[in-house]
Amino acid sequence: MSGMRQGQIVTGIAIEGVDDEGRGRGVVGSWDVAVRGAFPGDLVDRALIEVVFAQRQLAQARRLGPARGPLHIERSCGHEGPCAACPLHGVDEGFAAALKQERVSQALHDVGIDAVVDPVEAGAGLRQKVKLVSGGRRGALRLGHYVPHTHELAPAIHCAHSQDAIVDVVAALQQRLDEQGLGPERIKALIAREFVEGTGVVVVGTGPAPPLGRLRVPGCSGISWRRDDEGKNSLVGGSVVDVDGDPLGTPLDGGPRCAVDAFCQADVQGAARLVELAADFAVVDGQALCFDLYAGTGAFARALLARGAARVVAVEVSDASVAALGTIPGVSAIQGRVEDVIEQLRAEGAVDGVVVDPPKKGLGPAAIDVAALQSRRVALVSCDVDAGARDAKVFVDAGYAIVRVVPVDLFAGSSEVEMLTLLELVR
């Protein structure tokens, strides 16, 4: 086949592999075709070409018709598959775990590190926080996720990988928004998080807040309107201009009350295992000084203290998170970016253990500064395996040895995996 075009129907694609985004890969003529909802061993009868990258002879397609192949299992999702956010939903769990483990191994290998990678630690498979963007039209609002590389918005209000309470509140709120005539021209996104007290919600919208009391639904502990009039596709812009109910809540994994927007790991059970492994490693002995970098609301800080750390210095840029950190006895909070407060950290003296949990892009240039602190042990948490491998290479080059690499599945159904790298200073 010499060409490929968007909207074309392709038949008889034998799926031989799977890529990092969870799409099956097959060859059609000289073209590499990535098929959403297909897995190795499938023979895809018909697929619709969605995106074409002509220079690379690469196309993305969507499977049409039922899934057939050895790796498919029964789906529990309330939406038609494949899902934009959960491309591995409906695939054999053993295959999904092996794929994630291999992703970590390959990322390390790509930077010149050949380390043994542990089997994937499984979570509960349920997310305690969801972020949904809006689409559709007035009176028929759609909340969901954009299909990668397209402008198609797939609905996701009945997600099988979200806490049941979140699903109920989001579905009811979508209906309430429609009843109030609030379509995508006013609603940009919705963020919902499950707290002990109920489900907290932030609606990201344009213009002044509508009467929030009319939007608040049963099970919703508090609803906030975050006004963002900029025309950017961002879920973090704007500022809260109105609240109905309690804007804060108690995290499911404990800790100080915090805002819906405050950072948390997706899967409560998986996050607990991640925190346990990191803190157990970082606290070498009692009376240790530990740093918690990119600390969020302090899950790692609390665990470090529980394991005997004498004091924890926590660094965080978010106002809300710093306020939460300030309520934890034994924690000294520094507000700012890690790369901007390195001198303050050096002034603390010799550090025994560091836990560092940077954003998805990884530490980047700041990895050199953190490695130069010469902590006896470092627990590096990475939500992007390629960024995590690059950061780990900086520590290895600075005299650290990799003790253990543990993938933790915080995103069941997706191709993403959290990567915990435990490093010890050897020179």
Tens digits of residue pLDDT in 280-322: 999 987 778 999 999 998 999 999 999 999 999 999 998 888 9
Of all residues in the chain, what percent carry a pLDDT higher than 90?
A: 81
pLDDT for 190-203, tens place per residue?
999 999 999 999 99
Split at pLDDT 50, 70, 90, the class of 2 is: low
Residue 321: how many CB atoms within 10 A of its CB? 24
| CA–CA separation, 212 and 28 (whole Å) | 53
pLDDT of residue 417: 96
Token pair 């994630």 in the structure block, residue: 100
Q: For 329-358, what is the mean pLDDT?
A: 96
pLDDT for 10 beyond 80: yes
Supply the pTM of this predicted model: 0.91
Rounded to an integer, the average pLDDT of 340-351 is 96
3-state helix, strand, coil in the chain (%, to 5): 25, 35, 45
More confident residue, 139 or 374: 374
Q: How confident is the model at residue 82 (pLDDT cuts 50, 70, 90)?
A: confident
pLDDT digits (tens, 9 = 90+) for 213-254: 999 999 999 999 999 998 776 677 889 999 999 999 999 988
DSSP letter, residue 37: T
pLDDT, average across residues 25-35: 95
Provide the pLDDT confidence category of residue 152 given band limits of 50, 70 and 90: confident
Would you state the structure tokens that stand for residue 160, as one six-digit string? 């099988």
Q: Give the span between the Cα atoms of 224 and 387, in whole angstroms.
A: 33
> pLDDT tier at 58 (50, 70, 90 boundaries)?
very high
CATH code for residues 129-251: 2.40.50.1070
Above 70 in pLDDT, residue 20?
A: yes
Main-chain phi, psi angles of 25, to 5 degrees = -120, 130
**pLDDT for residue 183:** 93
Structure tokens at 133: 């963007």
Please count the residues of the chain: 427
Nearest to 21 by CA among 411, 421, 420, 419: 411
Question: Do 99-124+267-425 and 129-251 come out as alike in CATH topology?
Answer: no
Residue 399: CA count within 13 A, CB half-sphere = 11
Which pLDDT score, from 0 to 100, does residue 112 have?
98
Select the more confidently predicted residue: 320 or 4. 4
Q: Mean pLDDT, to the nearest integer, of 8-30?
A: 94
What mean pLDDT comes out for the span 52-78?
90
67 or 19: whose pLDDT is higher? 19
**Segment holding 105, helix H or strand E:** helix 93-110
Q: What is the DSSP string of 38-66?
A: --TT-EEEEEEEEEEEGGGTEEEEEEES-
Among 2.40.50.140, 3.40.50.300, 3.40.50.10320, 3.40.50.720, what is the CATH number of 9-64?
A: 2.40.50.140
- pLDDT at residue 1 tops 60: no
Q: Give mean pLDDT, residues 323-345.
A: 95
- Position 416 confidence tier, pLDDT thresholds 50, 70, 90: very high
**Beta bridge pairs of residue 312:** 290, 331
Residue 273, amino acid? R
Query: Which residues lie across from 60 on neighbouring strands?
Result: 34, 51
Secondary structure class of 198 (helix, strand, coil): strand
- Asked whether residue 204 carries a pLDDT value surpassing 80, the answer given is yes
Q: What is the pLDDT of residue 233?
A: 67
On average, the pLDDT of the chain sits at: 93
Q: Are 15 and 24 in contact (CB under 8 A)?
A: yes
Q: pLDDT by residue (tens digit) across 347-367?
A: 999 999 999 999 999 999 999
Q: What is the CATH number of domain 99-124+267-425?
A: 3.40.50.150
Convert the pLDDT of each residue in 358-401 to its tens digit: 999 999 999 999 999 999 999 999 999 999 999 999 999 999 99
DSSP string covering 326-389: TTSTTEEEEES-GGGSHHHHHTT---SEEEE---TT--TTHHHHHHTT--SEEEEEESSHHHHH
CA angle 400, 401, 404 (to 5 degrees): 130
Which pLDDT band holds residue 205 (cuts at 50, 70, 90)? very high
Residue 338 has pLDDT above 70, yes or no: yes
* Residue 76 banded pLDDT, cuts 50, 70, 90: confident
Per domain, the residue ranges of the chain are 9-64, 99-124+267-425, 129-251
Distance separating alpha carbons of residues 366 and 379, to the nearest angstrom: 15
